[in-house]
Amino acid sequence: MTSRPEHLPERLALISDVQAAEYISRGLLEGRDDVPSIALNKVAEPLPGEGARLGLHRVRDLIDQALERFRDERPTAADAWLAPRLHETLRLTRREAADKRLWTYLALGVAPDYVMWRHLSEAKADGSHGRVARDRFVGPHYKQTFARLWWAAELFRDGPDYQPVVVACGNQDMLNSALRLDVIDHRPTALALVRMMERGTVRTGREVNALTPAVNAAAATLMYDIIAPDVGRDGDALRDWIAAAESSLPSPRNHLPEGPEEERAPEEAVGRLVDHFEELFADAQVRGRASGEGE
């Protein structure tokens, strides 16, 4: 199985898809090869500055803890634990997080062993190797191993509160489908989906997969940010939170960390969308649900 890189520099770095292609071999995708970490770091672009938030070893320590904690469980169980802690450890702006070169470096230069553990498929009956999809290393934000967790934490958190992130990431169908939707950038929408899960209105993957496209389709005619307005983003709170990384302790392992001290989403706005989404869900086509069951 692909192992932890032998060479881990002090700073995180950036690596492009073109540069990464040389190291994403069939042997790596099947878990048979390691990433040549020294060669990789020769072509990677180190991140500038000396800030603690972009130090490599704090992130690697967090990933090692995830591997230890969940080694005897299904790998999917690690998502809800790791997402808020990865977000709190890195403390990125959205502009920084939009640079996919950082996530590619995390997957290849910092933790290819985690990518393999988390996403390697089962070996097939014909004896062929299991395999990790290439986009778990270099894919879009809703597919790439670490980008999907960071963005889930960013879009589902309620100000400093990461509990909604835990709920969202605890359902793989919600995590996989919601991150593809443009409407999820509207915070009351994201939190309303979580609220429906907490209430038990939506439980199964089939129900999530019926609800999310209905919510997205309705947004074409009903502007959620008009009927359920959010408060403005507080840039000062985010900057203060990022600056505090210089003196912060490692992300807590046994309780949730705290995000930036931004104002929470208006409860009235979230409640209004929950009511609306429940109506949409009642009419949604859920595969396997008997006719009239949701009425």
pLDDT at 283: 86
Q: How confident is the model at residue 288 (pLDDT cuts 50, 70, 90)?
A: low
The closest alpha carbon to 107, from 67, 144, 161, 153, belongs to: 144
The closest alpha carbon to 3, from 31, 44, 29, 24, belongs to: 31
Structure tokens at 216: 């997205």
Q: How confident is the model at residue 293 (pLDDT cuts 50, 70, 90)?
A: low
pLDDT at 43: 97
Structure tokens at 40: 């990789």
pLDDT at 233: 86
| Per-residue model confidence as pLDDT tens digits over 169-190 | 999 999 999 999 989 999 999 9
Q: How confident is the model at residue 222 (pLDDT cuts 50, 70, 90)?
A: confident
| Per-residue model confidence as pLDDT tens digits over 202-211 | 999 899 999 9
Q: How confident is the model at residue 29 (pLDDT cuts 50, 70, 90)?
A: very high
Q: Mind giving me the DSSP string for 175-195? A: HHHHTT-GGGGSHHHHHHHHH
CA distance 189 to 227: 11
Q: What percent of the chain has pLDDT over 90?
A: 86
Does the pLDDT value for residue 295 go beyond 50? no
pLDDT at 129: 80
pTM for the structure as a whole = 0.94
CA distance 246 to 224: 38
Q: What would the mean pLDDT of 230-234 be, rounded to a whole number? A: 91
Does the pLDDT value for residue 285 go beyond 80? no
Query: Does residue 116 contact residue 1 with C-beta atoms inside 8 Å?
Result: yes
Alpha helices in the chain (DSSP H): 17-21, 26-29, 37-43, 56-69, 78-90, 94-97, 100-105, 112-119, 135-138, 145-156, 163-169, 172-178, 187-199, 205-218, 224-227, 235-243, 267-283
State which amino acid sits at residue 200.
G
pLDDT at 287: 63
Residue-averaged pLDDT of the chain: 93
Long-range contacts of 129-134 (CB under 8 A, 24+ apart): 129/30, 129/31, 129/32, 130/30, 130/31, 131/29, 131/30, 132/29, 132/30, 132/31, 133/29, 134/24, 134/29
| Per-residue model confidence as pLDDT tens digits over 35-82 | 999 999 999 999 987 788 899 999 999 999 999 999 999 999 999 999
Does the pLDDT value for residue 290 go beyond 90? no
Residue holding tokens 């990464």? 20
State which amino acid sits at residue 155.
L
| Per-residue model confidence as pLDDT tens digits over 128-173 | 789 999 999 999 999 999 999 999 999 999 999 999 999 999 999 9
